C-alpha cells in the first residue's frame, strides 16, 4: 500500500508524549510541529529538482534546487497545528485552508470554507490533518484539490487508522500517505484507538 510510516526511536518518543493525557497544550503543539517536520523530510525525498548555476566565493558550480512550489493545505482546525512543522523546511511555502466538520449523525465531512493559493495546480500540495480516522475529510480534500487541477498531492498525518488508510487508497491510490503511527482501529464513535484524544482540543486547549 502507498503508506509510509516513520519507524524511528525519536518519532516513537514524541508519539508517546502526545498520547499522554497529562501533556499540556504548549508541549502538545511543540511535539506535533516536531513530528510534522520529520514527516515532511521523509515525504519530500522525491520532490522534483532542477540544476542551477550557483556562484560561490571561489567558483561557479551546479547545484540542485526544488523545482515545484509547495502548497501547505491544513484541514481546519487541527491541521493548523502542523503548519509550522512544514514551514520549518519550506519557509516560503504558501498556505491554503480547507474547513470541514464531521456531521455527527452521518459521520460525513461537510465543507464550510476553502481558500487555496493561486496557481496551486502547478504546485505540490501537502494535506495536513493530525488524525486520519474514517478518511472522509481527507478524501474530500483530495477531491477538491484534484478538481482544481492539482496533480501532485501528499497527505501527512500524526496518527492513522487502518480504516482511513483503506478509504483513501481505494479512492485515490495515487496519493501517498505519511504518518508517524498506524493504530489498531476505530471505536463505535469513529475515534482512533488508542489514539491521543481530540487533536484539535488538545492543540488549542478547548477541552
The yes-or-no answer on residue 102 being catalytic is yes
Marked catalytic residue, from 5, 77, 171, 198: 198
Taking all residues of the chain, what is their mean pLDDT, rounded to a whole number? 91
pLDDT digits (tens, 9 = 90+) for 65-119: 776 789 999 999 899 999 999 999 999 899 999 998 877 777 678 899 999 999 9
**pTM for this prediction:** 0.90
DSSP annotation string for 60-107: EEEEEEE-S-EEEEEEETGGGGGHHHHHTT-TT-EE-EEEEEE-TTT-
| % of the chain exceeding 90 in pLDDT | 73
Marked catalytic residue, from 37, 77, 102, 171: 102
Q: What is the CA radius of gyration of the chain?
A: 17
Marked catalytic residue, from 106, 124, 166, 174: 106
List, in sequence order, every beta strand (DSSP E) within 108-169.
109-115, 124-128, 131-132, 152-160
CATH number of the domain encompassing residue 22: 3.40.50.2020
Residue 173 has pLDDT above 90, yes or no: yes
Tally the domains of the chain.
Answer: 1
Residue pair 103/132 in contact by the 8 Å Cβ criterion: no
Boundaries of domain holding 58: 3-204
Place of cell 502507498: 2
The yes-or-no answer on residue 171 being catalytic is no
Residue 37 has pLDDT above 80, yes or no: yes
**Average of pLDDT values for 180-201?**
92
Amino acid at each position: 500500500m502507498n503508506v509510509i510510516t516513520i519507524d524511528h526511536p525519536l518519532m516513537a518518543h514524541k508519539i508517546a508524549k502526545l498520547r499522554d493525557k497529562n501533556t499540556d497544550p504548549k508541549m502538545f503543539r511543540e511535539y506535533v510541529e516536531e513530528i510534522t517536520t520529520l514527516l515532511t523530510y521523509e515525504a519530500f525525498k522525491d520532490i522534483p529538482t532542477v540544476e542551477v548555476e550557483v556562484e560561490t566565493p571561489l567558483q561557479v558550480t551546479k547545484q540542485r534546487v526544488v523545482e515545484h512550489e509547495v502548497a501547505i493545505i491544513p484541514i481546519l482546525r487541527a491541521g493548523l497545528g502542523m503548519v509550522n512543522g512544514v514551514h520549518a523546511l519550506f519557509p516560503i511555502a504558501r498556505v491554503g485552508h480547507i474547513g470541514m466538520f464531521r456531521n455527527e449523525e452521518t459521520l460525513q465531512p461537510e465543507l464550510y470554507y476553502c481558500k487555496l493559493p493561486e496557481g496551486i495546480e502547478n504546485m505540490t500540495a501537502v494535506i495536513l490533518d493530525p488524525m486520519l480516522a474514517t478518511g472522509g475529510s481527507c478524501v474530500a480534500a483530495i477531491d477538491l484539490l484534484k478538481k482544481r487541477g492539482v496533480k501532485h498531492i501528499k497527505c501527512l498525518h500524526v496518527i492513522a487508522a487502518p480504516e482511513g488508510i483503506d478509504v483513501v487508497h481505494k479512492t485515490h491510490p495515487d496519493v501517498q500517505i505519511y504518518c508517524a503511527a498506524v493504530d489498531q482501529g476505530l471505536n463505535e464513535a469513529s475515534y482512533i484507538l488508542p489514539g491521543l484524544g481530540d487533536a484539535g482540543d488538545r492543540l488549542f486547549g478547548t477541552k
